[in-house]
Amino acid sequence: MSIKRLRLLGLLPTWVTIGVLMIGPLLIMAAVSLMEANVYGGVHLRFDVSSYVQILFDKNLFDETEFNPAYLIIILRSFMLALGATGLALLIGFPAAYYIARQPDHRKNLLVFLITIPFWTNLLVRTFAWVIILGRGGFMDQVGSFLNIIGPDESINLMYTNTAILIGLVYSYLPLMVLPLYASMEKMDVRLLEAGADLYANRYELIRRIIVPLTMPGIIGGSILVFVPCLGAFIAPDLLGGGKKLMLGSLVQLQFATSRNWPFGAAIAMMLLAIVVIALMVNARAARRHAVYEQTGAEATHG
């Protein structure tokens, strides 16, 4: 068999599977977002952009189009929570990633493995653990009353708040922040820090002027890996927000589970996809820039 035939044979199953079961559905979803909703679920085969209009506008009693902020609030909440979770994950993950990167090899491998374990366990179960912790009379209330911070029947009561969702989001995606951070910190040349210190930089300046610029690909990569799934999160807002504080992911799910407005759900999903594409473009651009930066830096030292 020729190498061409072998290649085709090897790649075809993957092409067909992902093509038919992933690209196909995404294209159909794009088409559905441009169709008219059927009130019983599904769609009428008629071109209609009203699903996209519906994101910002509503028809009032007189059939006039007017601005409706209801969904805009959900979009803004999603962005705020996703940004907040990304920032917090970066803040928590940065020192840990740096510390692990400076350990001896065998310990490094073990610690990285410990970071990946939560990633491989069930997200629903991990989020549910926070229901036990934050819920009324739960673990945190019991610890609180044991430490006499709150009375025996009082509750810290964070459930169904934005704070609870934020905690859940950070917890869900923290490993995705730390792994790329760690990867770029491990590659960093420690001698640069020594050189910086010789030039009278203090530790804060070392972080700001050496570590952060050199680990920028990890920072951006990790931030995107956290930001994107946070934006489309469904489990954390559902379990910890009580399904009342909707985010984009839960809004999409709702359109298919109860509201039965497929085109609108598809339109929101398309919006999420567009954000992912933008995020990936930002990432690619940052990586390119960093490559140039490293190259010119190398030329500066070797040339």
Partner 1 sequence: MASPHRKSKFRPIWDFPGFGGLSVGFFAFLYVPILVLVAYSFNGSKFAMVWSEFSWRWYLKLLENDDIHSAAINSLIVAFFAAPAATIMATLAALVMVRGGPFRSRAFTAGLITLPLMVPEIVTAVATLIFFALLNINLGLINIILAHTVFCIPFAYMPIRAALEAMDPGLEVAAQDLYADRWDAFRYVTLPLLTPGIMSGFMLAFVISIDDFIITLMVAGAGSTTLPVYIYSMIRTGVTPEVNAVSTLLLAVSVILVSVYWLLSSANRKGEAIG
Chain residues 124-153 in contact with partner 1, contact rule CB under 8 A: 124-126, 128-133, 135-139, 142
Distance of CA 197 to CAs 24, 81, 209, Å? 56, 38, 11
Other CB atoms within a 10 A radius of the CB of residue 210 amount to 18
Nearest to partner 1 of 24, 69 (CB atom)? 24
3-state secondary structure 46-110: EECCHHHHHCCEEECCCCCEEECCHHHHHHHHHHHHHHHHHHHHHHHHHHHHHHHHCCCHHHHHH
When asked if residue 265 is in the footprint of partner 1 (CB under 8 A), the reply is yes
Nearest to partner 1 of 261, 290 (CB atom)? 261
When asked if residue 37 is in the footprint of partner 1 (CB under 8 A), the reply is no
CB of 39 to partner 1, least distance (A): 15
Structure tokens at 82: 């996703």
CB of 13 to partner 1, least distance (A): 4
- Among residues 224, 257, 225, the alpha carbon closest in space to that of 238 is found at 257
Contacting partner 1 within 40-69 (CB under 8 A): 42
Binding test (CB under 8 A) with partner 1, winner from 60, 70, 73, 99 = 99
Q: What DSSP designation does 135 have?
A: S
Nearest to partner 1 of 224, 290 (CB atom)? 224
When asked if residue 244 is in the footprint of partner 1 (CB under 8 A), the reply is no
CB of 191 to partner 1, least distance (A): 9
Contact (Cβ atoms closer than 8 angstroms) between residue 176 and residue 222: yes
Grouping H, G, I as helix, E, B as strand and the rest as coil, residue 44 is strand
CB of 132 to partner 1, least distance (A): 6
Nearest to partner 1 of 205, 294 (CB atom)? 205
CB of 66 to partner 1, least distance (A): 28
Structure tokens at 198: 């010789």
Nearest to partner 1 of 65, 142 (CB atom)? 142
Write the binding mask 156 to 175 for partner 1: x where contact by CB under 8 A, - elsewhere: ---------------x--xx
Structure tokens at 24: 């196909």
When asked if residue 295 is in the footprint of partner 1 (CB under 8 A), the reply is no
Contacting partner 1 within 106-125 (CB under 8 A): 109, 113-118, 120-125
Give the Cα separation of 13 and 249 in Å (integer): 31
CB of 241 to partner 1, least distance (A): 14
The amino acid at residue 141 is D
The site for partner 1, by CB under 8 A, has a size of 90
Distance of CA 27 to CAs 24, 55, 269, Å? 5, 20, 12
